[in-house]
A and B are shown apart, each in its own frame.
Chain A
Amino acid sequence: MEGPSQFKMPSATRRGALAMLALAGLTGFAGKVWAAVAPGWPENAFKQKSKDDAVKALYGKPMTTSDKITLEVPEIAENGAVVPVTVSTTLPNVTSISILVEQNPYTVAASYKLSDATLPSVGCRLKMAKTTAVIGVVESGGNLYSTSKQVKVTLGGCGG
């Protein structure tokens, strides 16, 4: 399977000590994984495995392509573990921007809720499992728009 070498055998990462917040009585026990859901997190959307299901779960409305959305992504990712992605748009009244990675295990990578003061542009760094389309979705004036770009992801050198 194509993908960054971090999907092979890295060493366990060091976790810093963080403040614990008891959320609705959910706590972590050694050896068990409790998937706590932070308030407001669209759990269902992050479970979807296709573009259509993801959009349906996030927005529940039809989407049309728009040339007023700029998707800045590399053509060939230097490493699939850290791919810089920026979505910007000239569309008005933007209330939400989401980024989907079509053939990732779960399609939704990130979703942003914008206030009326927020500029319609967000940049972040994403993991891509393989060569596939990155889709920028914008909710503007209640309507849904998108654009998409293919990003190539290959194995790093030396089979590492």
Chain B
Amino acid sequence: MAPTIRVRAQASGDATNVQALIQHPMDSGFVKDSKGVLIPPHYIETLTFEHAGKVVLEAFWGPAVSKDPYIKFGFKGGAKGDDLKVTWVDNLGKTDTLTAKIA
């Protein structure tokens, strides 16, 4: 199946800038479908970025994060060619992971 995670990691000086876009409904549980039935909550709870065995960012998300969520941050270290591992876990226990190369 198509990956749900897209990452752009760019080494810049002594830092790495990261942007990620994730395909996920991020249903809050407050919205009704066209039949008037509440769509159950389905959202990413944790999103983790790992570099060289260290977690450089751990995101705790709730239903207020937008659909097809986006994140942008940076960390010191990281060089071109290094791996950056991205993993998310949602409230239904589903998960996906992607290892991208820092450019």
Contacts and interface: CB of A to CB of B under 8 A. Distances in A.
Interface of A: 6-13, 15-23, 26-28, 33-42, 45-46, 81-83, 86, 101, 104-106, 108-115, 117-119, 121-128
Nearest to B90: A38
Interface size band for B:
35 or more
A20 B90 CA distance: 10
Given A39-B46, A110-B59, A10 B92 contact: no
A119 B91 contact: no
B64 A101 contact: yes
B56 A118 contact: yes
Given A15-B25, A41-B45, A117 B66 contact: no
Contacts of B71: 122-124
A125 B60 contact: no
What 10 A-B pairs have minimum CB-CB distances, sorted nearest first? A123-B72, A38-B89, A36-B93, A38-B45, A109-B64, A119-B74, A125-B66, A113-B58, A33-B40, A41-B45
A128 B63 CA distance: 11
A117 B1 contact: no
A110 B39 contact: no
Contacts of A117: 54, 56, 75-77
Nearest to B26: A127
A119 B63 contact: no
Contacts of A121: 73-74
Interface of A is mostly: loop
Nearest to A45: B60
A115 B75 contact: yes
A29 B43 CA distance: 17
The winner among A12, A37, A81, A123 for most chain B CB atoms within 10 A is: A12
B66 A123 contact: no
10 contacts: A18-B96, A20-B93, A21-B95, A38-B46, A40-B58, A41-B46, A111-B59, A122-B71, A122-B72, A122-B73
A126 B64 contact: yes
A41 B34 CA distance: 32
The winner among B57, B59, B60, B89 for most chain A CB atoms within 10 A is: B60
